[in-house]
Structure 1
Amino acid sequence: MLSSDNHKNAAPIDPSDLTIGDLLGALADYKDRPLVFRYDGRPVKPGYHVTEVKAGQFAALDCEANPESWSEIFVQLWDVDEGGPVHMSAGKFAAIIRKVSDHVALDQSAKLTFEVSDGIRPMELHCAAQPSVVGGTIEVELSPRPASCKPRDRWLKEQAAAGKPSCGESRCC
């Protein structure tokens, strides 16, 4: 479900952010509305392209040598003004993702990362907030994907679940 929101008052993006399934589900009832991604305090240009969608399975060790594994989907946005005077519709974006899923297995619950570049600046990794209705458009706020320490994140989650205040000190490494 989309919220009716103003990007100036948007809540901070939760590091667990949304999945491709969440995003497509939220857009389903708004196929004809322009889909506007926002980053660095501004919207992408109306001619932006989805230049690549890729899915990956990752296996790693965290800083305490705990094994980690996850699925992640990367959507690459090319922030250019070459596609016309209006932003891509939510329906066109969903159709692009569906076309990719016809050829590449997309885990609907996978972590979603946006790779954004204007073709000049280096590509930046972003996570996405829940879409919101702003005027006649659907907006998705992107924010830089921060590095994290998984053992510390788990500890903070345990503290919150136990109702204990966090002291802000790092327990890991």
Structure 2
Amino acid sequence: MNALGNVNVVSAPVDGDDITIGELLEALGRHPSSPLTFRYEGRVLRKGYHVTEVKAGNFAGLDCGANPEAWTEIFVQLWDVDDAPDQMTARKFAAIIGKVADHLSLDRSARLTFEVSDGVQPMQLHRAAAPVMDREEIVVELSPRPASCKPRDRWLAEQQAASACCGPASSQCCR
């Protein structure tokens, strides 16, 4: 909380393994005509997958240490079906996000979450790793979004920073 009693807004992803929508779009822009493939749970989304919904939200809450938290998040819903003759390209995916951006304010640094379902199983929340080129296609690995304890995560980050700065490999402490 700041001096005025307002909640501090966190715009960067909470987890270092996450990418933002801006990072994803930047990577896709390097290979716009390449097919875009998503992998989750050890399998590939079928080539006819749909982007059924894109949502942008501002969230506020209290973590388990009663610390106020606020962040922006973009949800991209993927429907894992084989309903189209061609694989979606990076350009088409970016155009879908662009159309959403024409109507909603999309924070390019917002946390990015994928909601994935085959229409039978319940939707599951995933985070996305940085896209990689695999032969002629762009592949984005999705992994389940884990729960976390923000106070513990902050404490661990402080401990890692202190040990990197003042550890045995360092000639002097940086504090």
Q: TM-score, normalised by structure 1?
A: 0.85
Q: Does 1:53 align with 2:31?
A: no
In the alignment, what sits opposite 1:38?
39
| Counterpart AA for 2:87 | H
Identity of aligned residues (%): 65
Three-state SS of the structure 1 residue aligned to 2:37 is strand
In the alignment, what sits opposite 2:151?
151
In the alignment, what sits opposite 1:68?
69
Deviations 1:26-58 (A, max 9, x none): 110111000000000111000000000000000
Equivalences, count:
150
In the alignment, what sits opposite 2:7?
none
2-structure distance, mates of 1:117, 1:87: 18
1-structure distance, mates of 2:50, 2:97: 13
Cα drift, residue 98 of structure 1: 0.2
In the alignment, what sits opposite 2:163?
163
| Counterpart AA for 1:161 | A
Cα drift, residue 15 of structure 1: 2.8
1-structure distance, mates of 2:87, 2:64: 42
Q: Does 1:29 align with 2:30?
A: yes
RMSD across aligned C-alpha pairs, in angstroms?
A: 1.1
Q: Does 1:122 align with 2:109?
A: no
Cα drift, residue 149 of structure 1: 0.4
| Counterpart AA for 1:83 | A
Higher Rg of the two aligned structures: 2
Q: Which structure 1 residue ranges, 5 or more long, are not aligned?
A: 1-13, 165-173
Q: Which structure 2 residue ranges, 5 or more long, are not aligned?
A: 1-13, 165-175
In the alignment, what sits opposite 1:171?
none
| Counterpart AA for 2:135 | G
Q: TM-score, normalised by structure 2?
A: 0.84
Three-state SS of the structure 2 residue aligned to 1:74 is strand
| Counterpart AA for 1:88 | M
2-structure distance, mates of 1:29, 1:18: 16
Deviations 1:76-109 (A, max 9, x none): 000000011x320000000000000000110000
| Counterpart AA for 1:104 | L
2-structure distance, mates of 1:120, 1:159: 44
Deviations 1:94-145 (A, max 9, x none): 0000000000110000000000000000000000000000011000000000
